[in-house]
């Protein structure tokens, strides 16, 4: 402020001083003697004066603005430093504190609510996980039950199939038992057939020889014929008739036996298809599980209790003789057993 007042005072002195008089020195300068001023200097001074006036106006404007700003600053200072401002600030502080306390309470309440919700969410998640685990366990149990049910169904189906197969096997075995006498007849015919064929061939050969012998007998004389006419001699015995084809009957019997052999082989193959096979008893030790002893013979050439003759074949249905527990005897073999002399 003092510098502004000094500048304004210096401008006033310049304005009041005549152009012919020398200008006093500015405050703060030495009081030296002033030389005479020429016209050029006066023009220069005039220019300086005009510039000074402009600057003075600017300074005055600046001073006015400064004063206005100072008043505003003073008003603001009074506003902020006065009792009213203090009361307003205090009221604002109280209000802010109250709002802060309210917000703090709301924040605490919100924290409590969040904590409660977190606990509820944790319980809900735990319950959900427990339910999911229960559902998973239930599904696993149901899957095991379904798998077990399928296994039981498969086992039951297999057992039923085995039972049906066993029933069919037993039924076929029963049918085979009914047909075994027919097989016995075929085997008996095949056993005695060659003897019959041989006897028939022997008869045919004897008839052929007799026929040839009679053809070689001489013709009766005329006198024999006359005596036969008058009844003095018995009638002539005609020669034995020879079959049209020698050996035809024996060949027929041989073909018939071959046909019976084919039928027997077919019969045995069908029995083997059903795991039915004859019991091999001849020369084997007597086994009461397979054999029935209908008689005995004193034999010294074989060990005692040995089957020496099979009167009727026996048959067994199964895979092997070694496992009689899985086999079934359809008919026991009727045998003769040796005994010590």
Tens digits of per-residue pLDDT, 63-99?
888 878 777 777 777 666 666 666 777 788 888 888 8
- The answer to whether the beta carbons of residues 307 and 283 sit under 8 Å apart is yes
The residue assigned the tokens 């003789």 is 321
Query: Cα 235 to chain center, whole Å?
Result: 104
* In a domain? residue 249: no
Which regions of the chain are under pLDDT 50? 1-4, 7, 14, 17-35, 37, 234, 239-240, 242, 244-245
Would you state the pLDDT for residue 19?
43
Give me 129's structure tokens. 């996980």
Asked if residue 307 belongs to a domain, the reply is: yes
What pLDDT is attached to residue 72? 78
Report pLDDT for 21.
44
By DSSP bridging, strand 276-278 and strand 315-317 are antiparallel
Tell me the CATH number at 298.
Answer: 2.30.22.10
Number of domains in the chain: 1
pLDDT at 29: 39
- Residue recorded with tokens 């034999």: 299
Distance, C-alpha 42 to centroid of its chain: 121
DSSP 326: G
Distance CA 311, CA 297 (A): 13
Radius of gyration in angstroms for the set of CA atoms belonging to the chain, rounded to a whole number: 77
Pairwise CA distance, residues 334 & 309, whole Å: 9
11 lies in a domain?
Answer: no
Query: Does a structural domain hold residue 291?
Result: yes
User: How distant, in Å, are the alpha carbons of 283, 306, 340, 341 from that of 295?
Assistant: 15, 12, 14, 15
Give a yes or no: residue 293 inside a domain: yes
Residue-number span of the structural domain to which 286 is assigned = 276-341
Query: What is the structure's pLDDT at 37?
Result: 47
pTM, 2 dp? 0.48
Question: In angstroms, rounded to a whole number, what is the distance separating the alpha carbons of residues 235 and 185?
Answer: 48
């Amino acid at each position: 402020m003092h510098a502004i007042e000094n500048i304004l005072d210096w401008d006033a002195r310049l304005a009041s001083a005549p152009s012919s008089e020398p200008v006093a020195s500015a405050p703060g300068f030495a009081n030296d003697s002033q030389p005479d001023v020429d016209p050029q200097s006066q023009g220069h001074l005039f220019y300086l004066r005009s510039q000074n006036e402009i600057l003075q106006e600017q300074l005055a404007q600046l001073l006015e603005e400064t004063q206005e700003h100072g008043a505003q600053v003073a008003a603001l200072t009074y506003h902020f430093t006065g009792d009213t401002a203090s009361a307003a600030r205090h009221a604002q502080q109280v209000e802010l504190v109250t709002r802060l306390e309210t917000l703090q309470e709301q924040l605490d309440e919100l924290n409590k609510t969040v904590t409660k919700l977190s606990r509820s969410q944790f319980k809900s998640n735990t319950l959900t996980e427990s339910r999911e685990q229960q559902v998973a366990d239930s599904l696993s149990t149901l899957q095991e039950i379904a798998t077990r049910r399928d296994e039981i169904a498969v086992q039951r189906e297999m057992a039923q199939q085995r039972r049906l197969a066993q029933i069919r096997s037993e039924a076929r075995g029963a049918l085979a038992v009914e047909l075994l006498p027919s097989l016995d007849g075929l085997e008996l015919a095949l056993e005695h057939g060659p003897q019959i064929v041989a006897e028939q061939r022997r008869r045919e050969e004897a008839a052929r020889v007799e026929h040839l012998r009679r053809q070689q007998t001489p013709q009766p004389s005329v006198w024999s014929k006359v005596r036969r006419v008058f009844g003095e001699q018995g009638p002539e015995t005609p020669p034995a008739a020879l079959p049209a084809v020698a050996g035809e009957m024996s060949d027929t019997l041989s073909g018939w036996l071959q046909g019976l052999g084919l039928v027997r082989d077919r019969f045995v193959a069908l029995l083997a298809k059903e795991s039915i096979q004859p019991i091999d008893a001849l020369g084997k030790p007597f086994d009461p599980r397979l054999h029935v002893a209908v008689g005995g013979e004193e034999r010294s050439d074989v060990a005692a209790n040995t089957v020496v003759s099979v009167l009727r074949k026996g048959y067994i249905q199964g895979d092997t003789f070694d496992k009689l527990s899985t086999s079934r005897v359809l008919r026991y073999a009727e045998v003769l057993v040796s005994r010590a002399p």
